[in-house]
């Protein structure tokens, strides 16, 4: 027996008032009732500032103008057990350039995608061509609703690989009936009753029908023309009711007040069906020839209506063989004659109705649903599935780490310090310098000294950076942070974090045996001058930075009587924060996860090394494991972004991701590996450094192997082009720390650890589709 399918639909959805919402709902209701289907769910697309009371099948909502929601939807899909994704596509539905936000979702999921195209453009502008071609690329099957659409894809977009499938727009299964009883049910009068329905917009061509009516009304004064439907929301938003008012004025000018009815309402589908069945003639006077499908015309055909239409593509295709009358665009006389012919020749009109009804039998929803299911199964059959071994090989083995390049860091430094920012490798003088970067720069330089053939350059930079910090230190022992290019400090003193980052660098200089004694002594003197300020520091990350620097000198036995009490007091403060804020599902120091997070975890493990207090070790490991659970998704580290951070009981922000967090994670995992010798920490260290090398949400390579530059982060629109000091310095810090241990781990051991890591953290296979 065939395994039952689990299907996820993406599109607008009821109760939103739009044609595709109705289509998605009808398709859902049809397929969910089929025996071959286990369950169906929906991801609904909302317009700006919209909210709806959706039915229970809607499991996720996308705000169309929020790129982050598309990524979140992809995450939801990847975590789900759905077999296939069925996407409804229409230009104007999704946000971005020609709706290209949808590719943030499509490029990130690894399930078969079946796309229904509600619009296909024959002569597309470049953005629309590009989007259509990308839809072809990401879709495993593409469903079109007319032969014309299929021909355009073949001829214009050169699609000839069996990817397209023709399935007509679905319709309800209604009996072939007379209109009289339905008119009575709705309380409608008039013979004949002529109908045009759908969301009202200027392309409907209603004014052409109005101009054609006086000649018909003169002979058939009982005629009623019903224009059914609310104004299209986009038209109403941009132009108000100008088109409807224009039509009302025309009715008055033509003296048709007793013959024309405007029903300004979006009617539910069952009520709509009654209106269609109550009508005698359906008029479809569209202005545009490039109409490849029309749900309204499909309903009229399937319910056996006599039809008068302009010759847009879909009408030309479906109204052959005496299933309707085609009249040229804006041909007022032609519409008049066609209406008169149908009214005055009831037998021929009835034959036309019967022809349309019989043609529409293939379009009833039950038949359409079966065709969709067949296409779903075909897509699944042809869908490439990676084996477990392939997933393990690709996702979990360590890669060859790049060698540290100092060229870029050197190019970013002048005779004052290291520039804060640079765009495409060009230092920005207007942003000047920062103690934050200089302090961490000293950590990077001291770690890079061992085995580096540029030892002279490194010592020169260390001397320069020490000079900067010496100048930046205030009389009270704190540090200025920002200096302009004209060598003027821009603050009275920097933040607590600035103080901690300066101490972080100074401590590493003191502990670096490869540096001359004069530099190490100078750094220690600056640390000693800063001792009074340590009693005034409150920020937890500032304490973590300070502890990182103090650990280096305390581990060497330097000034323990002075600084060990401070170090322990800081460690106790961090563990106290953890106890105050932890919950069963929140193992963290604060009610919010923000930036530079793993540094706090790391220093508590260092505190255990120094004091032997197991409380520090346990807190450091628990909080690091919490960060892992929060950010490692089985494929890559999806860091907490700065566009909202991550609050307790709330979803984390996806963008504004900062490389500093990937670097600090790497350092913390190496420290955890040193402490516990649990190989999974070493593997996680490799995964976090690979964040810079393309293993991230956007598959963006942030590290320039040629220059050594590092981009600053991942934003909604892509990689941040700033290649500032913080990113390159933090990358070198992490790379050097990890490189120390990479050669110690044997390949066979890594493979065994990879399997362990997949069991502990693995959720999804790495998406090959996302690499395309």
Residue 17 has pLDDT above 90, yes or no: no
From 26-35, 326-335, 387-396, 746-755, the region with the lowest mean pLDDT: 387-396
Which pLDDT belongs to residue 507?
98
How many residues in total does the chain contain?
772
Which pLDDT belongs to residue 758?
38
Q: How many Cα neighbours within 13 Å face the side chain of 54?
A: 22
Residue 542 has pLDDT above 70, yes or no: yes
Task: Tell me the C-alpha distance between 522 and 509, whole Å.
Answer: 9
Residue 647 has pLDDT above 80, yes or no: yes
Which pLDDT belongs to residue 384?
63
- Give one DSSP letter per residue of 260-307, joined into a string: EEEE-S---HHHHHHHHHH-SEEEE--S-S-----HHHHHHHHTT-EE
Residue 351 has pLDDT above 70, yes or no: yes
Mean pLDDT of the region 334-342: 97
3-state secondary structure 87-134: EEECCCCCCCHHHCCHHHHHCCCCCCEEEEECCCCCCCCHHHHHHHHH
If you average pLDDT over every residue of the chain, what do you get?
A: 90
Which pLDDT belongs to residue 393?
34
Q: What is the DSSP letter of 189?
A: -
Q: Among 311, 307, 306, 314, which residue's Cα sits nearest to residue 330?
A: 311
Mean pLDDT of the region 422-448: 94
Mean pLDDT of the region 68-90: 92
> Quick one: pLDDT band at residue 347, thresholds 50, 70, 90?
very high
Q: How many Cα neighbours within 13 Å face the side chain of 719?
A: 23
Burial of 513 (0-12, 13-18, 19+ CB in 10 A): exposed
pLDDT over 90 percentage in the chain? 78
Mean pLDDT of the region 474-481: 97
Which pLDDT belongs to residue 189?
78
> Quick one: pLDDT band at residue 653, thresholds 50, 70, 90?
very high
The answer to whether the CB of 420 falls within 8 A of the CB of 431 is yes
The answer to whether the CB of 4 falls within 8 A of the CB of 84 is no
Q: What is the DSSP letter of 704?
A: -
Structure tokens at 405: 């390049």
Which pLDDT belongs to residue 395?
38
Mean pLDDT of the region 396-405: 70
Angle, helices 206-219 vs 332-344, to 10°: value is: 50
Which pLDDT belongs to residue 451?
78
Q: What is the pLDDT of residues 543-583, one digit of tens each?
A: 999 999 999 999 999 999 999 999 999 999 999 999 999 99
Which pLDDT belongs to residue 270?
85
Burial of 114 (0-12, 13-18, 19+ CB in 10 A): buried
Say which residue, 761 or 315, is predicted with more confidence.
315
Mean pLDDT of the region 99-110: 90
Q: What is the pLDDT of residues 661-687, one digit of tens each?
A: 999 999 999 999 988 888 889 999 999
Residue 398 has pLDDT above 50, yes or no: no
Return the SS3 of 646: strand
Which pLDDT belongs to residue 721?
84
Q: What is the pLDDT of residues 161-210, one digit of tens each?
A: 789 999 999 999 999 998 988 998 888 877 899 999 988 999 999 999 99
Which pLDDT belongs to residue 422?
92
Q: How many Cα neighbours within 13 Å face the side chain of 87?
A: 27
Return the SS3 of 216: helix
Return the SS3 of 719: strand
> Quick one: pLDDT band at residue 385, thresholds 50, 70, 90?
low
> Quick one: pLDDT band at residue 392, thresholds 50, 70, 90?
very low
Return the SS3 of 492: coil
> Quick one: pLDDT band at residue 748, thresholds 50, 70, 90?
very low
Residue 368 has pLDDT above 50, yes or no: yes
C-alpha separations of 384 from 77, 159, 211, 241, 340 in Å: 18, 20, 57, 51, 58
Q: Among 402, 422, 424, 400, which residue's Cα sits nearest to residue 413?
A: 422
Which pLDDT belongs to residue 743?
54
pLDDT over 70 percentage in the chain? 94
Structure tokens at 754: 């990879």
CA distance from start to end of the chain:
35
Burial of 452 (0-12, 13-18, 19+ CB in 10 A): middle
Task: Tell me the C-alpha distance between 291 and 279, whole Å.
Answer: 24
Task: Tell me the C-alpha distance between 548 and 101, whole Å.
Answer: 42
Q: Among 540, 525, 548, which residue's Cα sits nearest to residue 440?
A: 548
Residue 750 has pLDDT above 50, yes or no: no
Which pLDDT belongs to residue 535?
96
Kindly list the structural domains of the chain, giving each domain's residue range(s) and its CATH number in brackets, ordered by start: 5-170+370-382 (3.40.50.2000), 180-361 (3.40.50.2000), 396-765 (1.50.10.10)
Residue 755 has pLDDT above 90, yes or no: no
From 8-17, 397-406, 586-595, the region with the lowest mean pLDDT: 397-406
The answer to whether the CB of 48 falls within 8 A of the CB of 66 is no
Q: What is the pLDDT of residues 602-645, one digit of tens each?
A: 999 999 999 999 899 999 999 999 999 999 998 899 999 999 99
Q: What is the pLDDT of residues 110-149, one digit of tens each?
A: 899 999 999 999 999 999 999 999 999 999 999 999 999 9
Sign of the dihedral defined by the CA atoms of residues 642, 648, 652, 653, in that order: negative
> Quick one: pLDDT band at residue 740, thresholds 50, 70, 90?
confident
Tokens 């071994």 belong to 389
Residue 762 has pLDDT above 60, yes or no: no
């Amino acid at each position: 027996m065939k395994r039952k399918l689990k299907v996820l639909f993406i599109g607008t959805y009821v109760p939103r008032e739009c044609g595709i919402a109705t289509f998605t709902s009808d398709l859902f209701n049809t397929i969910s009732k089929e025996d071959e289907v286990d369950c169906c769910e929906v991801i609904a697309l909302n317009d700006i500032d919209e909210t709806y009371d959706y039915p229970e099948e809607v499991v996720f909502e996308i705000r169309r103008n929020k790129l982050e929601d598309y990524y979140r939807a992809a995450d939801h899909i990847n975590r789900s057990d759905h077999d296939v994704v069925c996407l409804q596509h229409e230009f104007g539905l999704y946000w971005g350039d020609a709706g290209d936000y949808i590719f943030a979702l499509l490029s990130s999921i690894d399930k078969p995608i079946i796309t229904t195209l509600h619009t296909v453009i024959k002569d597309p502008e470049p953005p629309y061509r590009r989007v259509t071609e990308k839809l072809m690329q990401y879709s495993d099957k593409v469903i079109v609703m007319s032969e014309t659409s299929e021909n355009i894809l073949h001829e214009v977009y050169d699609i000839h690989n069996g990817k397209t499938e023709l399935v007509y727009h679905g319709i309800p299964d209604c009996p072939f009936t007379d209109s009289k009883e339905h008119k009575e049910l709705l309380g409608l009068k008039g013979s004949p009753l002529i109908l045009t329905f759908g969301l009202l917009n200027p392309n409907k061509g209603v004014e052409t029908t109005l101009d054609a009516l006086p000649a018909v009304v003169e002979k058939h004064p009982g005629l009623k023309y019903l224009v059914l439907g609310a104004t299209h929301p986009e038209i109403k938003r941009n132009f108000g009711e100008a088109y409807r008012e224009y039509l009302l004025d025309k009715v008055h000018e033509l003296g048709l007040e007793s013959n024309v009815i405007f029903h300004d309402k979006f009617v539910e589908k069952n009520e709509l069906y009654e209106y269609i069945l109550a009508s005698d003639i359906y008029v479809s006077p569209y202005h545009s020839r490039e109409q490849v499908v029309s749900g309204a015309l499909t309903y009229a055909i399937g319910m056996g209506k006599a039809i008068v239409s302009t010759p847009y593509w879909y009408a030309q295709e479906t109204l052959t063989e005496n299933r309707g009358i085609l009249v040229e665009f804006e041909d007022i006389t032609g519409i008049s004659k066609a209406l008169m012919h149908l009214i005055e020749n009831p037998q021929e009109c009835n034959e036309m109705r019967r022809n349309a009804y019989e043609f529409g039998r293939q379009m009833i929803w039950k038949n359409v649903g079966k065709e969709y299911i067949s296409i779903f199964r075909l897509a699944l059959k042809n869908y490439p599935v990676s084996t477990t071994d392939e997933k393990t090989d690709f996702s979990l083995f360590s890669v060859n780490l790049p060698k540290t390049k100092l060229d870029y860091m050197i190019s970013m430094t002048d005779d004052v310090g290291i520039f804060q920012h640079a765009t495409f490798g060009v230092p920005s003088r207007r942003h000047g310098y920062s103690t934050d970067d200089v302090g961490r720069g000293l950590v990077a330089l001291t770690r890079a000294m061992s085995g580096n053939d540029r030892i002279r350059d490194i010592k020169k930079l260390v001397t320069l950076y020490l000079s900067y910090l010496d100048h930046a230190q205030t009389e009270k022992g704190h540090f200025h942070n920002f200096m302009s290019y004209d060598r003027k400090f821009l603050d009275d003193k920097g933040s607590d974090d600035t103080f901690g980052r300066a101490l972080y660098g100074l401590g590493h200089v003191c502990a670096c045996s490869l540096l001359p004694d004069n530099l190490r002594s100078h750094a220690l003197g600056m640390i000693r001058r800063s001792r009074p300020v340590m009693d005034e520091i409150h920020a937890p990350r500032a304490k973590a930075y300070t502890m990182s620097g103090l650990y280096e000198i305390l581990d060497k036995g330097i000034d323990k009587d002075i600084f060990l009490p401070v170090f322990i007091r800081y460690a106790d403060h961090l563990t106290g924060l953890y106890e105050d804020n932890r919950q069963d599902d929140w193992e963290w120091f604060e009610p919010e996860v923000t930036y530079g997070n793993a540094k706090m975890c790391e220093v508590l493990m260092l505190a255990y090394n120094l004091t032997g207090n197991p409380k520090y070790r346990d807190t450091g490991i628990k909080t690091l494991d919490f960060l892992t659970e929060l950010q490692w998704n089985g494929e890559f580290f999806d860091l907490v972004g700065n566009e909202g951070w991550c609050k307790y009981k709330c979803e984390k922000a996806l963008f504004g991701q900062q490389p500093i967090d990937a670097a600090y994670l790497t350092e913390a995992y190496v420290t955890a590996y040193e402490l516990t010798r649990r190989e999974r920490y070493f593997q996680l260290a490799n995964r976090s450094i690979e964040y810079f090398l393309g293993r991230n949400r956007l598959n963006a390579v942030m590290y320039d192997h040629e220059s050594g530059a590092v981009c600053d982060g991942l934003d909604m629109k892509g990689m941040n082009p700033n290649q500032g000091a913080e990113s390159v310095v933090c990358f070198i810090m992490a790379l050097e720390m990890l490189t120390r241990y990479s050669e110690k781990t044997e390949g066979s051991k890594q493979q065994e650890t990879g399997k362990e890591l997949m069991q502990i953290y693995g959720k999804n296979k790495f998406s090959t589709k996302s690499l395309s």
